Chain A
Amino acid sequence: MGDTAERFKVAIVGSGPAGLSAAARAAARGMSHVLVEKAGHLSDTIHKYQKGKHVMATPSNLVLRSDLDFEAGKREAVLGTWDEQTAGHQVNVRLNTEIVSITGAKGDFTLAVKNGEPIRAEAVVLAIGTQGNPNLVRCPVGEGAVVQYQLDDPAEYVDEHIVVIGAGDAGIENALGLAADPQQRNVVTIVNRSAEFNTAKDANVKALQAMQAEGRITVLMETTARAIDKGEIVFDTRDGELRMRCDRVIARMGSAPPRAFVEGICAEFEEKNGRKVVRPGTGVQFTSADRVAYPKLSPMFESTVPGVYVIGALAGYPLIKHCMNQGYDVIEFIAGNTDLKPADEPILAAKFAPLPGGRSVDEWLALFARNIEIFREVSPLQLRELMLESEAHAFAAGETLFVRNEPGSSLFAIAEGSVLVEVDPEDSSKTVPIGQGSIVGEVGLISGRPRGSTVRAAEPTVCVELSRRAALKLLATAPAAARAVNRIAIERQLLQIFGSGLKPEDVAGLVEAAEVLDVAAGKVVIAEGADDKDVYVVRRGSMIVEKAIGGKPVFLSYLPAGSYLGEMAAIDGSKRTATVKAAIRSEVVRFPGEAFVALLEAKPKLREKALADMAGRRAVTQFIEGRKDSFGSAVDYYSETAQFLVDNGIGEATDVLLIDEKLCVGCDNCEKACADSHDGLSRLDREAGRTYAHLHVPTSCRHCEHPHCMADCPPDAIRRGADGEVFIAETCIGCGNCQRNCPYGVIRMDAKPPRKPSLLSWILFGAGPGPGEASYAWRKANAQGEEAKLAIKCDMCSGIEGGPACVRACPTGAAIRVSPEKFLRFTKLVEDVG
């Protein structure tokens, strides 16, 4: 330590695409630098991709600005190029160097290194990504013992005694992989600290227990490792010490996200409740406490600690090209080249070109930040990023922004001008104005449902259209934007539900008193017999209504997002007549009953509508109650079937494929038709899935109202199409996130198969594999060149005349597509299915 240590101009932490590119720029500029990587090789995240994985280079319109080359290709080629060019630039790399803390101030930072000399630098660039560090084994590890935190290829190991520590999904999957092939003769042991498998998926636990029953895996519960030595491991078990032969330890004990490390950089600490915490206002600050929030950054990527810069995935840019460009830019900024325009400048210039007024990119960005309410708290850098995922439009007076019932999940922000919302579908002259700075289209964003009304420009108007992903990112990182959207959304939803004649002023009291509640699946919102008087609106998710008849809960109805409930008690003061509970995780808005009643008093028309709705629902209840006496089994059957469907994800579906197994002959023509309508790959597995009373829910997309698959798509390729279908666009990079996120297992990753010979040549000459999905062997034998494995899923045969091929191609009428709100009705289920 001390002044003898070399002080670098910049220390770059992390050697992923962002860090590497920054280091290469620094080297090319002759800036004194050091690139620090905790792994034994460069670019660990991409290194961890499976062998031969195709790495995509999107967005294709973004110019690459880096001293390193990058184009789409195999993992090995990409890494090879970077290794070669990093060496060529004579980048000063330190591998196997883990930074444990960063202290000091601009001009003189000290980076403490685990088991090594500290590094000193004038500036720090953090490019550590979002993966975090795997939790390490805490017991002593002896000389020569093999402990690894990752398993690339289970087939690599033969004749070994292997201990897997950690019985989460990663650990179980590794252990299963190692023991899968008895030919490898591995002796596999998996160690779980607790007495239960708390964190693993049920399917994995079952598979593990089956393997254990066959004696192919040893499972140690309530056990921790005490010491690991070459060839041996010592455990503490419930019954005392246990020694075992062990050639290799694979530790899969989860990982710590990097946020705590980042927040602790140059921070002051204080004691709070006996724990050391960061003193507020010091260290690298994040935009919010939200899990997905990013560090607060200046347009130059500088964090709230001067001299500490954050780039890459940690800054909110998951795509490789963005990362590499930022690496280049941040070094230029540190070197004083502050006039540098970001590489996305031409893209933004092209986006803004059609707008009137001839403003420059910076002028437009400044105008958006000034005029649009939800952009007020957004940094210029973040705004640039948002604009990359957004569109700017100019509308002439009278031009429509979007049309009622059109599916769309984007959010429009009015930068200049104003718009009119048509509130009455029958009469387009009835409109509500929305002014400059506000937003429209937020309902689609929150509920995932189609547009509720047509919106047109009242005057020449400039709008920013944010994609769903960009908008959600904004809401997660800018709390003020989230609050504004929330308030507007509640107000608009009320106006939409209660129909014409209402004005924002009328519902102001309700909006003021509104409270948004998160409701877990199965949780009761209203209990039958209770005498509370609140009124609720379902904002996202869906509800099921049940009534106890003869001591058993009977399913009354299904309520999708956009329904209101609980007003009966508010209006006539009666006790709750039925139980309402969440079918899936939902969001409801609660209003005090008195405020609702006051609104009804003031608006006789609304009162009439509410009373009519009430009468309609009472009729349904009475109908089912009446049936119960004469027709009890049908009512039970209906309730149970409805519950089964809700349990299988129908509650969050907008369109689902069901198979009536009283008609299905198992010909699999649905699967064949699916494959033949979509590049030769089927997106449906008929046989798999749950069945109740001969109603089968196959493995096929439910087109969820809030698609889980959309949650984390780096290129934002998953969208909702014109018929409500959730589809994957061609910009898919094959990362597999959607496949992992789908709880129904309906997304597969596969390469586009080669073209098959025509049906006629198959019928006449037996050419090719015939109708349906070709076998893997045929696809492989006939492949022309390398095709990337991309995500594929049902798109409801969008763009194909006649609609979904699975239904059209069913010879017996077993395959049907249904929407929950239509299907989950008593008459439909009992008379149609029963």
Chain B
Amino acid sequence: MATAADDDAAFHAERRDSDHESFLLHGRMRWLKVALGLGSAAILGYVLADVDPRPNGGSWYGYLLGTLGAGLIVWLSLLGVRKRAITPGRWSLKAWTSAHVYLGLSLVVIATLHTGFQFGWNVHTLAYALMILVIASGVYGMVAYATLPQALSDNRREMTKRQMVEALAAIDRQLEAAAQPLGRVEADLVIAALGQDPFGEGAIARLTGRYRDCRTASALEALAGGDPANERVVALLRKRQAQLAQIRRHMHLRALLEVWLWVHVPLTIMLLAALTAHIVSVFYYW
């Protein structure tokens, strides 16, 4: 029906980052293209390079790939610093993540070619194995990042974690008041449910989202309807169970989004140590 004053858009465009793309699609998958180029160049070089007697990490081409790989590993591990050092400047962590993912994947090609397919029980193969494990955990992370957030958002239903916990506390207070008229046996079931730490079943429960020993569930099973006081308690227990399910699912999804970092980061540190040992030993025993 009308025309907007056209200067506003131009005015804000300068400062605003409206490009709305995920880290995987960033810059029209610029870093995927770079990684593919790098990988194919490495393969082509491997085929064409005439090294004697056979492809080996110690050949000139092996050194080339090794230097490139070591450089990449060091740079990739610096993402942790970049993420935390909020310095001024035109950098974007999304671009870093994008490059981290694709260049990290290209290492599979580069480092494998660097080995010349010579493996053994030594520090060199240890470094390679650690690198593959780091990349494998990273692949899991990438998939988790790409698929889980939507479920996390759906489950939240506009509540913050804190609000969920507060809602649970409110239900618990109502439950405590409502359970007063119950008989001894029934009241004990409610007391047991309220007294239990409903999230305290350890890492496995958190990662699987299954809580076997949930006393709220047992209380619900034991307390069938009947008189009005019972019914009110059952209704509140159902509310409590639903609230618990939301919090547990939130914790479950967050755990799935975070667990791989507990592998990825320590292994990266071990990899850096093994890589150092690998490089030092190679030059020491030249």
Contacts and interface: CB of A to CB of B under 8 A. Distances in A.
B83 interface: yes
B211 interface: no
Given A617-B1, A801-B88, A832 B97 contact: no
Interface centre among A568, A665, A691, A801 (most CB of B within 10 A): A665
A568 B1 contact: yes
Interface in A500-550: 526, 543, 545
Contact of B23 (A672, A771, A813): A813
A215 B176 CA distance: 11
Given A526-B1, A687-B160, A450 B20 contact: no
Contacts of A568: 1
Interface string A220-263: 00000000000000000000000000000000000000000000
B193 interface: no
A405 interface: yes
Contacts of B12: 654-655, 723-724, 819, 822
Interface stretch (B102-110, B116-124, B146-154, B212-220): B146-154
Interface stretch (B3-11, B48-56, B61-69): B3-11
A449 B7 CA distance: 10
Interface string B73-105: 000000001011110111111101100000000
A819 B9 contact: yes
Interface in A613-635: 613, 616-617
A661 B150 contact: yes
A74 interface: no
A759 B84 contact: yes
B197 interface: no
B90 A666 contact: no
Nearest to A660: B20
A112 to B, nearest CB: 52
B2 A559 contact: yes
A303 B50 CA distance: 102
Contacts of A810: 93-94
Nearest to A405: B11
A770 B8 CA distance: 39
B93 A819 contact: no
Nearest to B11: A405
Contacts of A449: 5, 8
A219 to B, nearest CB: 16
Interface in B149-193: 149-150, 152-153, 156, 158, 160-162, 170, 173-174, 177
A275 to B, nearest CB: 46
Given A811-B97, A813-B22, A562 B153 contact: no
Interface string A560-572: 1111111110000
A807 interface: yes
Nearest to A663: B22
A688 B160 contact: yes
Contacts of A563: 2-5
Nearest to A566: B1
A802 interface: yes
Contact of B15 (A687, A771, A803): A803
Contacts of B5: 449, 496-497, 560-563
The number of chain A residues touching the other chain, given as a range, is: 35 or more
B167 to A, nearest CB: 9
A152 interface: no
Nearest to A808: B92
B23 A617 contact: no
A688 B5 CA distance: 33
B246 to A, nearest CB: 14
A414 to B, nearest CB: 24
A452 B140 CA distance: 52
Contact of A450 (B4, B11, B26, B145): B11
Given A655-B12, A691-B158, A821-B4, A802 B145 contact: no
Interface in A647-681: 654-655, 660-666, 669, 672-673, 676-677
A545 B26 contact: no
A128 B26 CA distance: 62
A40 to B, nearest CB: 39
A770 B85 CA distance: 11
A582 B96 CA distance: 42
Contacts of B93: 669, 808-811
A655 B16 contact: yes
B221 interface: no
Interface in A787-820: 796, 800-805, 807-814, 816-819
A820 to B, nearest CB: 10
A616 B2 CA distance: 9
A833 interface: yes
Contact of A812 (B81, B94, B161): B94
A759 B85 contact: yes
A5 interface: no
B22 A213 contact: no
A567 B2 contact: yes
Contacts of B84: 672, 759, 763, 770-771
Given A723-B15, A810-B94, A813-B94, A694 B150 contact: yes
B18 A823 contact: yes
Contacts of A561: 5
A724 B11 CA distance: 9
Nearest to A526: B1
Interface in A98-116: none
B8 A819 contact: yes
18 contacts: A214-B174, A452-B7, A497-B5, A543-B2, A563-B4, A663-B23, A669-B83, A672-B84, A763-B81, A771-B86, A808-B92, A810-B94, A811-B83, A811-B94, A813-B23, A819-B18, A821-B8, A822-B9
Interface of B: 1-5, 7-23, 26, 81, 83-86, 88-94, 96-97, 145, 148-150, 152-153, 156, 158, 160-162, 170, 173-174, 177, 254, 257
Interface of A: 210, 213-216, 404-405, 449-450, 452, 496-497, 526, 543, 545, 556-568, 577-578, 580, 613, 616-617, 654-655, 660-666, 669, 672-673, 676-677, 687-691, 694, 696, 723-724, 759, 763, 770-771, 796, 800-805, 807-814, 816-819, 821-823, 832-833
Shortest 4 CB-CB distances between A and B: which pairs? A661-B153, A565-B2, A562-B5, A687-B160
